[in-house]
Amino acid sequence: MQDLGTLGTGTDAFAFFINERGQVAGTSSTNNPVTGLPTQDPFLWENGKMTDLGTLGGTFGLPNALNNRGQVVGQSNLAGDLTWHPFLWDRGVLTDLGTLGGSLGGAQWINDGGEIVGFASTAGDQAIDGFLWKKGVMTDLGTVNGEPCSAAHDINSKGQIVGNSFDCVVEGGYAWLWEDGSITDLNTFVPPGSSLQQLVVALNVNDSGEIDGLGVPPGVDPNDVFTLGHVFALIPCDEHNRDGDCEDGTENVRAVPQVSSVSRDVFGGTRRLFPPSRTNGFHMPGFAIGPRN
């Protein structure tokens, strides 16, 4: 075990991410010369050296993702600490990604192509929408099912994005997939009689298009998804994953309640979830993992 140290005269540091190059991203307290109180800056650690990534003028910055190119994204307070913006740190340059016309936002993930997703407020701070930032352009991903707000949580190397839409107050809404300029409510494909009443939030999508997230069974309020929700995994019904379940659609959805352990237990067998949608459907293996913070 190696002590990575801290930034400046700070006393605490936390490491959150490590990539395939052995680079580590996290946050460290520093000494605020104005108040003397600890403040927090994001850092990148590499080959024994911790680099302060700085902030966008405020006293608090938080990294949310690190890709294999050493690019870091997150959110940082602006001067005065009254609001915050999403940032990209790349080879020594910290860039304010801006918003969708409002005053705040945060970057949630970045793929190895430098494509960034997150959330940002719209003009007049009337709503928060998920965004895709690519080559200097921020695109509003929209919402589903009439909900006024949304957030994007993950993007894979193919540009597929997952997230959820909600009522702008409590993040219990509808899971979605954004692909090739189109956003799809994943709930539109849940068959009658499913053990899941609603797919509330899609959290991760890997390069094979497999999606995981949280849903709720019948009788559970979607707003309680982070305490009473069930974990789901969606496996694309494509040429690599096509089986009898994908063809006949006879099996029911299977979901497993969250457990406190961080282990993952495979319960065997696949369960049919979706009929084909556009080019792909999904089927679902049952497994349980700990809740993601």
Q: What's 244's DSSP letter?
A: H
What's the confidence (pLDDT) of residue 35?
A: 59
- 10-26 per-position pLDDT tens digit: 788 999 999 999 999 99
Using the predicted structure, report yes or no on whether residue 269 has a pLDDT greater than 50.
Answer: no
Residue 42 neighbours by CB under 8 Å, 6+ apart: 25, 26, 27, 53, 54, 55, 61, 62, 63, 72, 74, 76, 89
In terms of phi and psi (left: phi > 0; alpha: psi -120 to 50; beta: otherwise), the region of 275 is: beta
**CA 23 to mean position of chain CA atoms:** 20
Q: Provide the token pair at 162.
A: 């997952």
* Average confidence (pLDDT) over 182-195: 84
Residue 172's pLDDT band (cuts 50, 70, 90): confident
**Amino acid type, 132:** L
Residue type, 186: L
Query: What is the model's pLDDT at position 240?
Result: 57
Per-residue pLDDT tens over the stretch 43-82: 999 999 999 999 999 999 999 999 999 999 999 999 999 9
The angle at the Cα of 190, spanning 286 to 222, to the nearest 5 degrees, equals 80
Q: Find the mean pLDDT for residues 89-93.
A: 97
How far does Cα 127 stand from its chain's mean position?
Answer: 19
Pairwise CA distance, residues 9 & 113, whole Å: 35
Q: Does position 105 have pLDDT exceeding 60, yes or no?
A: yes
Pairing of strands 116-122, 57-66: unpaired
Q: What pLDDT is stored for residue 69 in this prediction?
A: 98
- 174-179/230-236 β-pairing: unpaired
Give dist(CA 155, CA 67) in Å, integer: 11
248 φ, ψ (degrees, to nearest 5) = -100, -20
What is the rounded average pLDDT of the residues 232-245? 67
pLDDT at 88 over 90: yes
